[in-house]
């Protein structure tokens, strides 16, 4: 069971995973060793899945975000495996979600420019049969975060 200090530790790590244990301990009013033990426990219990570095997309040459809407006429396990195999090795595809409703899948792509989508589109349609595939360019990001709300964790 998590307490408020555990949640604060998770919030701080989501904000900056490179924070030193000493600084974190001060901010959550724990000794360094107690804070370190809590972090280790949170990792062992799976609350902390991994620690990563977030790169700056424009600096990395990837300022464009596109969302690709996919509809398929086939919903078989073999189609899904074929689709999964097609998307897995395309690094510009950073998220794929299976949806409810009239859209079957939505893909989030990060690209250097809109024109780069054409090559990805050709790769996908060459490997997988789609009923419909369409793309939209994000004009502006109003909210983007990797931080999860911690108040639901038990």
77-95, pLDDT tens digit by residue? 999 999 999 999 999 999 9
Once rounded to an integer, what is the mean pLDDT over residues 2-15? 97
The reported pLDDT for the residue numbered 7 is: 97
Which pLDDT score is estimated for 87? 98
Q: What confidence tens digit (pLDDT) does each residue in 103-129 have?
A: 999 999 999 999 999 999 999 999 999
d(CA 149, CA 24) in angstroms, rounded, equals 19
Would you state the pLDDT for residue 25? 97
- d(C-alpha 80, C-alpha 13), whole Å: 35
Q: What is the pLDDT of residues 28-58, one digit of tens each?
A: 999 999 999 999 999 999 999 999 999 999 9
pLDDT at 121: 98
DSSP 148: P
Beta-sheet strand order (sheet of 105-111): 93-98, 105-111, 64-71, 132-137
Instruction: Please determine, looking at this structure, whether the domain spanning 64-137 carries the CATH number 3.40.50.450.
Output: no
The DSSP element (H or E) to which 14 belongs, if any, is helix 4-15
pLDDT at residue number 82: 96
CATH number of 4-44: 1.10.10.10
Task: Measure CA 116 to chain center.
Answer: 21
pLDDT digit string, tens, across residues 16-29: 999 999 999 999 99
Q: Where are the domains of the chain?
A: 4-44, 64-137
Q: pTM for the complete prediction?
A: 0.90
pLDDT for res 109? 98
């Amino acid at each position: 069971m998590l307490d408020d200090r555990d949640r604060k530790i998770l919030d701080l790590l989501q904000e900056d995973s490179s924070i030193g244990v000493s600084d974190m301990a001060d901010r959550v009013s724990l000794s360094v060793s107690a804070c370190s033990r809590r972090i280790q426990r949170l990792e062992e219990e799976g609350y902390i899945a991994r620690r990563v570095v977030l790169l700056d997309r424009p600096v990395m040459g990837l300022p464009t975000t596109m969302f690709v809407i996919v509809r398929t006429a086939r919903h078989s396990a073999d189609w899904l495996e074929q689709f999964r195999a097609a998307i897995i090795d395309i690094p510009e595809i950073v998220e794929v979600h299976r949806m409810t409703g009239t859209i079957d899948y939505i893909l989030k792509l990060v690209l250097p420019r809109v024109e780069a989508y054409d090559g990805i589109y050709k790769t996908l349609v060459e490997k997988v049969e789609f009923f419909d595939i369409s793309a939209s360019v994000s004009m502006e990001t109003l909210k983007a975060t990797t931080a999860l709300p911690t108040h639901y964790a038990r």
